[in-house]
Structure 1
Amino acid sequence: MPSVDDMTTTTASANAGAEPYPHPGMFRQLMTDSGYVITNFPLAVAGFIVVVVGFALGVGLGITLIGLPILAGALLIARAFADIERLRMPAVLRHPRVRPQYKVANPDANIWRRVVTPITDTQSWLDLAHAVIRLPIGVFAFVVTVTWWAAAVGGSMYWAYDWALPSPGGEEDLPQLLGLGDSTGARIGLHTAIGVFFLITLPVVVRGCAALEASLGRALLTGMAEMRNRITVLEEQKRAAVSAEATALRRLERDIHDGPQQRLVRLAMDLGRAQQQLDTDPDAVRRTLDEALTQTRDTLNELRALSRGIAPPILVDRGLPSALAALAGRGVVPIDLSVDNTLGTPAGRLDPALENAAYFVVAEALTNVAKHSRATECWVSVKRTGDRLTIAVIDDGEGGAHVSKGHGLAGIADRIRAAGGALEVVSPVGGPTEIKAELPC
């Protein structure tokens, strides 16, 4: 199989992707969460003071119109603190950064319209609410995190500095209260055990504190944006599904009109001619009926080919591997097929809609290879990795493939987008061409 490391991506259509933030190690995550919680405390204090003071002044002086610029300034400051938080959250939540679209005044708007615009923006008020609510949660998380770190480090290292601590005098210390005696070993053992407990639970507790603060930020700072993005994605998928089905119906109508319909018309004419020749020329009738029989066979073959393009019976009965093997066997160009065999087992079968989409992608890609690529060899790979189905079709043709209306790849892009997947076409001039699709299982 040819290497594609040096290819240039010419066309891409993506919707969903892999996890953008892979899970780090436990120690690295602990350090990330601890840094997030500790630095959040001064940011929360500063944001609370500035925003609350600005909001109070703006509301108090609102009747004099001087308060409007102050209130707008408070909201813009809250937006700045919110943007800082949006930059910090992905490391904790392992989620891509999302920034909402704020209202923007028209370029020709006057100064008062520009001042009022932030005040009429819903997200600006959510930013202000986050700056206020963030402080008590930040204080709680900061106190818990620092306490757990101090107890974990101080307790587990108690043996190293026990000798330097002053004796309790006549008062009973913790080991004595628990009935363990007042020996040095009992004291060190108890404090070390407490430190080990805090050390073991430290990642969980710090993770909970960081997730609590980050979840508040996500709910107030990115929740509306994520919902709008999701609505946009669903609308795009709906449009892509409608476009894909419309294209498939138009193609089916054209194929039926150009193929079986013309043959059926010819068959009707042949049968009519045979009827006229029945009494006058029996030999001509025999020849006409032979031609009609040939037309019938050809029509049946074309109808079978059309049905395979819609939903081949082998795909329904035996699964994707067998259907793709049959498809490769009919290929004009030699095809090296590699399919995950588990996709054909009862336990590994995909959703019927996903199987149809995968079959359509490979069939359309191979059709493009046969018609346009001038390739001498083709490689097809279909495998399932986790919850993603990856399809790759590579040929050694002349390249130059691209996604645009009127081309077969446009139908592939619409079908994949409708299924929530992603398509990438790498096809430099001179080849080779790689069509890679990912579909969510």
Structure 2
Amino acid sequence: MHSVGFMRRLLSRLAGDTVYLLVGFPLAIIAFCLTVLGLSSGAGLLVVWVGVPVLALTALVARGLGDVERIRISGVLGTQLARPRYPRSPEGAGWLRRMLTPLSGGQPWLDVLHALVIFPVAILTFCVAVTWWSLTLTGLTYPLYGWVLSNIPDNHGLPELLGFGRGYFVDSLFYGALGVVAAITLYPVVRGCALLQASLGRALLTGVAELQERIEDLTEGRNAAAYAEANALRRLERDIHDGPQQRLVHLAMELSRAQRELERDATAAQNTIGKAITATRETLDELRALSRGIAPPILADRGLAPALAALASRCTVPVELDVQVDERFPALIENTVYFVTAEALTNVAKHSRAELCQVTLSRIGDTLLLTIGDDGVGGAHVAKGHGLSGLADRLRAVEGELAVRSPAGGPTTIVAEVPCG
């Protein structure tokens, strides 16, 4: 069953690539002729300004043909291609400005260049595809019609010219073998031609657009990292102000009172010092909890496995930890995995009412896969204003992704993918 499905997909791909090459040939002829005609006419008429609208119309035609080619390329490459952002005339622009807008920017000229460059490539790929299909079909079907050719007087076939002899049987073996070889190599040859033509088209028609999208993604990731860092710093500042700072102020007041009582009432001073010691321990515990937002020395010194084990041991919910990687990664990657785990465990302890939490870290190719699950009440999501939104921002900073499945009533599963290659 698996082999049948594979053959079906292979034949479907072969048919798609063949149609792409066969249809691409007449489209390339049309694009080349229209573009050459438009460019030559427009350049020749520039002296009387009539050439400007002619060139603008040529650019628009090349843009339309480029849109058609982008759709065709998407089918060959199996991915949706980005459409470039063409310049637009500002509101209230004059006729000359509107006329020049289709010619401004780099992408219109790349569309024109594609119409010119793809023409010889389309001729080559078309000829190769037609030749291979012809060899396959005529060679495999030769026994059905070859007896007619073999009985024609003075018909010197290719086998006879190569010294293999003459006759229906010899010709059938020769052309049948040729057809088998062509059939075996048909898919890689046609696929290679389609990829060659489609890759050239993608580079010219969407290369700039894909680069712009990449820049926007990196900018968004940088902004998300800055946003997450700013939120973490504000939260840490607020927690320090509301917690340890107030405790330390109270501790200073208690010690001052103990100092005054020490001269007149040693017992009262001893009680005050005891309260101060208790307050000191509580402050230390709170500072340890706050320090989870800062990368610990154990992470830098020993790596993810010991650092995650320390996190698991401090969680108030029992944690089953399974770290399947032992190599070291760049500091940014390790910090991201550590902080995502720390924040997720904090949410589990505060909100999930779970009895058990499972943390698994594994590597699949160039991606670290962090999975955190609990048997709590569920209802977690990554909307702004909720605890997990900061995790999504932090992961976007390293081009990672966060997926949360947490139906009402539980269980909750959080999956973070962190590129590490």
TM-score (norm 1): 0.80
d(CA) in 1 for partners of 2:372, 2:15: 39
Instruction: Quote the residue 2:5 is aligned against.
Output: none
> Structure 1 residues 41, 307: closer, same or farther in 2, change over 3 A?
same
2:389 is the counterpart of 1:410: yes
d(CA) in 2 for partners of 1:218, 1:224: 10
Match of 1:292 among 269, 276, 298: 276
Instruction: Quote the residue 2:192 is aligned against.
Output: 208
Greater share of helix residues, 1 or 2?
2
Counterpart code for 1:102: Y
SS at match of 2:80: coil
Contact 1:399 1:430 in 2 (8 A): yes
Q: How does 1:119-138 map to 2 (within 5 A)?
A: 119-138=103-122
For residues 157-192 of structure 1, give each alpha carbon's deviation from its aligned partner in whole angstroms, at most 9, with x where no partner exists. Answer: 323332122446456543334443335433322222
Counterpart code for 2:389: A
Match of 1:113 among 97, 104, 107: 97
Aligned length: 411
Instruction: Quote the residue 2:61 is aligned against.
Output: 77
Instruction: Quote the residue 1:353 is aligned against.
Output: 332
Instruction: Quote the residue 2:170 is aligned against.
Output: 186
Instruction: Quote the residue 2:3 is aligned against.
Output: none
SS at match of 1:165: helix
Instruction: Quote the residue 2:205 is aligned against.
Output: 221
Instruction: Quote the residue 2:129 is aligned against.
Output: 145
| Higher mean C-alpha displacement, 241-250 vs 268-277 | 268-277
Cα shift at 1:110: 2.8
Cα shift at 1:386: 4.8
Contact 2:324 2:361 in 1 (8 A): no
Contact 1:401 1:433 in 2 (8 A): no
2:212 is the counterpart of 1:237: no
Instruction: Quote the residue 1:15 is aligned against.
Output: none
Instruction: Quote the residue 2:4 is aligned against.
Output: none
Determine which structure has greater relative contact order: mean sequence separation of CA pairs < 8 Å that are 6+ residues apart, divided by chain length: 1
Instruction: Quote the residue 2:242 is aligned against.
Output: 258
Contact 2:83 2:206 in 1 (8 A): yes
Match of 2:141 among 153, 157, 167: 157
Cα shift at 1:418: 0.7
| Higher mean C-alpha displacement, 287-296 vs 270-279 | 270-279
Match of 2:233 among 249, 252, 258: 249
Q: How does 1:426-441 map to 2 (within 5 A)?
A: 437-441=416-420
For residues 92-139 of structure 1, give each alpha carbon's deviation from its aligned partner in whole angstroms, at most 9, with x where no partner exists. Answer: 223321100001112322333221110223211111111111111100
d(CA) in 2 for partners of 1:61, 1:51: 15
For residues 206-248 of structure 1, give each alpha carbon's deviation from its aligned partner in whole angstroms, at most 9, with x where no partner exists. Answer: 1221111111111111011111111111111111111222222
Contact 2:254 2:276 in 1 (8 A): yes
d(CA) in 1 for partners of 2:260, 2:113: 89
> Structure 1 residues 161, 336: closer, same or farther in 2, change over 3 A?
farther
d(CA) in 2 for partners of 1:37, 1:103: 31
Contact 1:101 1:225 in 2 (8 A): yes
Contact 2:150 2:167 in 1 (8 A): no
d(CA) in 2 for partners of 1:72, 1:397: 62
Contact 1:392 1:435 in 2 (8 A): yes
SS at match of 2:418: strand
Cα shift at 1:272: 3.8
SS at match of 2:92: coil
Cα shift at 1:142: 0.3
TM-score (norm 2): 0.83
Cα shift at 1:202: 1.5
| Higher mean C-alpha displacement, 125-134 vs 284-293 | 284-293
Counterpart code for 1:419: V
For residues 284-314 of structure 1, give each alpha carbon's deviation from its aligned partner in whole angstroms, at most 9, with x where no partner exists. Answer: 3432332232233223222222223323567
d(CA) in 2 for partners of 1:61, 1:41: 30
Aligned-CA RMSD value: 3.3
Give unmatched runs, 5+ long, in structure 1: 1-23
For residues 341-387 of structure 1, give each alpha carbon's deviation from its aligned partner in whole angstroms, at most 9, with x where no partner exists. Answer: 424xx25x66553343234334434544655x576678666565554
d(CA) in 2 for partners of 1:140, 1:228: 32
> Structure 1 residues 392, 342: closer, same or farther in 2, change over 3 A?
closer
> Structure 1 residues 55, 377: closer, same or farther in 2, change over 3 A?
farther
Cα shift at 1:145: 0.8
d(CA) in 1 for partners of 2:165, 2:313: 84
> Structure 1 residues 421, 381: closer, same or farther in 2, change over 3 A?
same
Q: How does 1:263-412 map to 2 (within 5 A)?
A: 263-312=247-296, 327=311, 341-343=323-325, 346=326, 352-368=331-347, 371=350, 382=360, 384=362, 386-388=365-367, 389=369, 391=371, 397=377, 399=379, 403-404=383-384, 406-412=385-391
Contact 1:426 1:433 in 2 (8 A): yes
Contact 2:371 2:413 in 1 (8 A): no
Q: Percent identity?
A: 48
SS at match of 1:408: coil
d(CA) in 1 for partners of 2:376, 2:341: 16
d(CA) in 2 for partners of 1:409, 1:419: 16
SS at match of 1:439: strand
| Higher mean C-alpha displacement, 161-170 vs 89-98 | 161-170
> Structure 1 residues 381, 146: closer, same or farther in 2, change over 3 A?
farther
> Structure 1 residues 294, 82: closer, same or farther in 2, change over 3 A?
same
2:9 is the counterpart of 1:25: yes
Instruction: Quote the residue 1:38 is aligned against.
Output: 22
